[in-house]
């Protein structure tokens, strides 16, 4: 991993193509096919929190800001802090200009091309690295999301930085690499809460790779965890101050679990119902649960109590309907790759996604056959993200951050399928020439 790497000119070209495609789409095409950029595109309230930060109210949901507890003004634990603070910083410097946020999205994600190249080159080879970067530059879903205020636009970049050092750690378990990786995972966790368990997802692969250096592994792994915890500790302390509970990053798993249940029941294999319909059904059930609690206790429910209520509902749902839960996971493993807001978007995404996934499976197969061990962290990450969202709530947007690694596997699959076909054609040609030569000489085969 320490070997020097010269950046191929193709990577610079791929970066320019990505910047061009993203700029054209976000500022010329997207405004014509969707509503113009305004506050309505703030689907999860990140921008509203950013405004509250800029107004010196703090990291809060004001009345009406959140669809779950719309009447409650409170210091929220339902959102991670990094993306709202990122938006507030941009608005503080440039004023309220959503276009500037989108420009930052484009610039930040253009670096993804470079990191895809570096990771693919270290895990596979130069050709795979170049092809992965070029495909990434033309992969439309990356560009589509840039025009929205969703934290995936920041998280995708943070995750690929983290994965770059994950690969470094799998090559060289040095103290420096371990500390940097822990810090990066900690920062990423402040953008997406599930990242906090990533070290434990990687641990089986690390044990396999460093099975002859177990003492060193345990020491370095401890440093990864310590660095991670120190990085998130200011936010964990803040959460304890405002809630009285130990919450490392955020609440919300119970809420998303209920919403995932509705989409699994209502939307599979391109039925007539949309994900939006499922969400409205989930909102209705959430409101019923909140009303029951507030009627029983004669007061507004807090976020801590809300999370406990929904977690209990989720636990009882799994306990009482284990087969239904397994069915939800199965359906979620499909939804994760293509489920959009409506049937047309879902169908379009499926047409794009499933050929890539099939090629990625071929890539994994060829890598396994060639005993490339450093694929372990890549497929561990892909499986982790898919399964955790299948359990809770699975929609296409959540798959965006791991698509760079799917594209890397797909590129490796394309190259190996091409080489296999080329080799077979070459063998057939040799056999044909040999046969023709023998026929001319009248020599039987």
Write the pLDDT tens digit of every residue in 109-129. 999 999 999 999 999 999 999
Q: Which region among 18-22, 47-51, 346-350, 431-435 has the lowest average model confidence (pLDDT)? A: 431-435
Residue 207 has pLDDT above 80, yes or no: yes
pLDDT of residue 84: 94
Q: What is the pLDDT of residues 337-361, one digit of tens each?
A: 988 877 788 888 889 999 999 999 9
Q: Which of 333, 195, 193 is nearest to 260 (CA)?
A: 333
Give me the mean pLDDT over the 377-390 stretch: 94
Residue 272 has pLDDT above 50, yes or no: no
Give me the mean pLDDT over the 43-57 stretch: 89
pLDDT of residue 97: 87
DSSP 195: G
Q: How far apart are CA 306 and CA 312, in angstroms?
A: 10
Give me the mean pLDDT over the 275-284 stretch: 73
Q: What is the pLDDT of residues 128-171, one digit of tens each?
A: 999 999 999 999 889 988 888 889 999 999 999 999 999 999 99
Q: How many percent of the chain have pLDDT more than 70?
A: 89
Q: What is the pLDDT of residues 293-332, one digit of tens each?
A: 888 888 878 888 888 888 888 888 888 888 888 888 888 8
Of 273 and 71, the one with more pLDDT: 71
Q: What is the pLDDT of residues 397-424, one digit of tens each?
A: 999 999 999 999 999 999 999 888 887 6
pLDDT of residue 331: 87
pLDDT of residue 434: 64
Burial 190-222 (b: 16+ CB within 10 A, else e): bbbbbbbebbebbeebbeebbeeeeeebeebbe
pLDDT of residue 442: 56
pLDDT of residue 307: 82
pLDDT of residue 209: 92
Paired strand residues for 74: 61
Give me the mean pLDDT over the 252-271 stretch: 71
Measured in degrees and rounded to the nearest 5, phi and psi for residue 74 equal: -160, 160
pLDDT of residue 269: 56
- Whether 165 and 181 have beta carbons less than 8 Å apart is answered as yes
Give me the mean pLDDT over the 84-96 stretch: 93
- Residue 75's H or E segment, with its range, is strand 74-75
pLDDT of residue 90: 94
Dihedral sign for Cα atoms in the order 337, 364, 210, 116: negative
Band of residue 34 on the pLDDT scale cut at 50, 70, 90: low
Q: How many CB atoms lie within 10 A of CB 340?
A: 21
Band of residue 2 on the pLDDT scale cut at 50, 70, 90: very low
3-state secondary structure 241-290: HHHCCCCCCCCCHHHHHHHHHHHHHHCCCCCCCCHHHHHHHHHHHHHHHH
Band of residue 433 on the pLDDT scale cut at 50, 70, 90: low
Q: How far apart are CA 377 and CA 382, in angstroms?
A: 9
pLDDT of residue 155: 95
pLDDT of residue 62: 84
Question: What integer best gives the mean pLDDT of the chain?
Answer: 86
Q: Which region among 47-51, 134-138, 312-316, 436-440 has the lowest average model confidence (pLDDT)? A: 436-440
């Amino acid at each position: 991993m320490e070997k020097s790497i010269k950046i191929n000119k193709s990577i610079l070209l791929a970066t320019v193509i990505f910047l061009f495609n993203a700029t054209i789409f976000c500022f010329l095409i997207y405004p014509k096919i969707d509503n113009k950029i305004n506050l309505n595109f703030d689907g999860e309230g990140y921008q509203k929190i950013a405004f509250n930060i800029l107004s010196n109210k703090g990291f809060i949901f004001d009345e009406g800001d959140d669809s779950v507890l719309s009447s409650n003004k409170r210091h929220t634990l339902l959102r991670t802090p990094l993306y709202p603070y990122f938006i507030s910083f941009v608005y503080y410097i440039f004023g309220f200009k959503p276009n500037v946020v989108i420009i930052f999205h484009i610039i930040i994600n253009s670096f993804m091309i470079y990191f895809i190249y570096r990771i693919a080159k270290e895990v596979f080879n130069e050709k795979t690295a170049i092809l992965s970067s070029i495909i990434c530059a033309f992969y439309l879903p990356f560009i589509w999301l840039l025009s929205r205020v969703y934290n995936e636009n920041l998280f995708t970049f943070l995750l690929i930085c983290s994965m770059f050092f994950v690969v470094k750690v799998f090559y060289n378990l040095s103290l420096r690499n371990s500390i940097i990786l822990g810090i990066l995972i900690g920062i990423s966790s402040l953008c997406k809460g599930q990242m906090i368990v990533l070290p434990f997802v990687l641990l089986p692969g690390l044990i396999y790779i460093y099975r002859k250096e177990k003492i060193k592994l345990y020491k370095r792994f401890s440093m990864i965890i310590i660095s991670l915890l120190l990085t998130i500790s200011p936010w964990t302390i803040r959460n304890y101050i405002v809630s009285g509970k130990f919450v490392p990053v955020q609440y919300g798993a119970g809420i998303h679990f209920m919403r995932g249940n509705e989409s699994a029941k209502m939307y599979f294999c391109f039925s007539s119902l949309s994900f939006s319909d499922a969400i409205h059904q989930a909102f209705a059930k959430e409101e019923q649960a909140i009303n029951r609690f507030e009627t029983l206790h004669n007061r507004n429910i807090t976020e801590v109590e809300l999370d406990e209520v929904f977690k209990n509902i989720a636990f009882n749902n799994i306990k009482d309907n284990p087969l239904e839960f397994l069915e939800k996971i199965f359906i979620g493993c499909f939804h994760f790759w293509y489920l959009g807001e409506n049937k047309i978007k879902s169908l379009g995404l499926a047409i794009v996604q499933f050929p890539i996934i099939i090629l990625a499976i071929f890539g994994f197969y060829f890598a396994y056959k060639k005993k490339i061990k450093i694929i372990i962290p890549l497929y561990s990450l892909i499986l982790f993200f898919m399964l955790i969202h299948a359990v809770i709530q699975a929609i296409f947007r959540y798959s965006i951050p791991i698509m760079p690694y799917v594209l890397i596997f797909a590129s490796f699959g394309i190259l190996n399928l091409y080489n296999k076909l080329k080799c077979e054609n070459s063998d057939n040609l040799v056999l044909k020439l040999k046969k023709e030569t023998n026929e001319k000489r009248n020599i039987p085969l």
